[in-house]
Amino acid sequence: MGKQLSGSGRRATGSVGVRDVAKAAGVSTATVSRALNQPHQVSEELRKHVASVAAELNYIPDPAARALSSQKTFRIGALIPTIANSIYSRFVEALQRRLRQSGYSLVLANYDFDECLEMEEAQALVESGIDALVLAGEQRSPELYDLLNRRKIPYLLISIYLPDSPHRCVGYDNRAGAEAMTRYILELGHREIGVLEGPSSVSDRALLRTKGIMDALKDFGVTLPATRITGRSFSVHNGREGLAELLEAAPEITAVICGNDVLAIGALMEAQARGLTVPQDLSICGYDGLDIAQDMVPQIATVHVPTAQMGLKTAESLVTLLSGEETPHSVLIETRLVPGGSTAPPRTR
Q: Which helix (H) or strand (E) holds 302?
A: strand 302-304
67 near 96, Cβ under 8 Å?
no
pLDDT tens track for 42-97: 888 998 898 889 888 888 766 555 554 556 889 999 999 988 888 899 999 999 99
CATH architecture entry for 174-305: 3-Layer(aba) Sandwich (3.40)
Radius of gyration of the chain (CA): 25
> Positive or negative, the Cα torsion across 91, 155, 336, 214?
positive
pLDDT tens track for 253-299: 999 999 999 999 999 999 999 999 999 999 999 999 999 999 999 99
CB neighbours of 229 closer than 8 A, spacing ≥ 6?
Answer: 194, 195, 196, 197
Fold assignment, 18-61: 434 Repressor (Amino-terminal Domain) (1.10.260)
Q: Do domains 72-173+306-335 and 174-305 have the same CATH topology?
A: yes
CATH architecture entry for 72-173+306-335: 3-Layer(aba) Sandwich (3.40)
161 near 138, Cβ under 8 Å?
no
Q: Percentage of residues in the chain with pLDDT exceeding 90?
A: 76
Domain ranges of the chain: 18-61, 72-173+306-335, 174-305
Strands (E) across 99-192 are located at 105-110, 132-136, 155-158, 169-171
CB neighbours of 318 closer than 8 A, spacing ≥ 6?
Answer: 76, 99, 104, 132, 134, 154, 156
In this prediction, residue 18 has a pLDDT band, given cuts at 50, 70 and 90, of confident
pLDDT tens track for 154-194: 999 999 999 999 999 999 999 999 999 999 999 999 999 99
**In angstroms, rounded to a whole number, what is the distance separating the alpha carbons of residues 86 and 53?**
38
In this prediction, residue 348 has a pLDDT band, given cuts at 50, 70 and 90, of confident
pLDDT tens track for 97-137: 999 999 999 999 999 999 999 999 999 999 999 999 999 99
- Please tell me the predicted confidence (pLDDT) of residue 62: 61
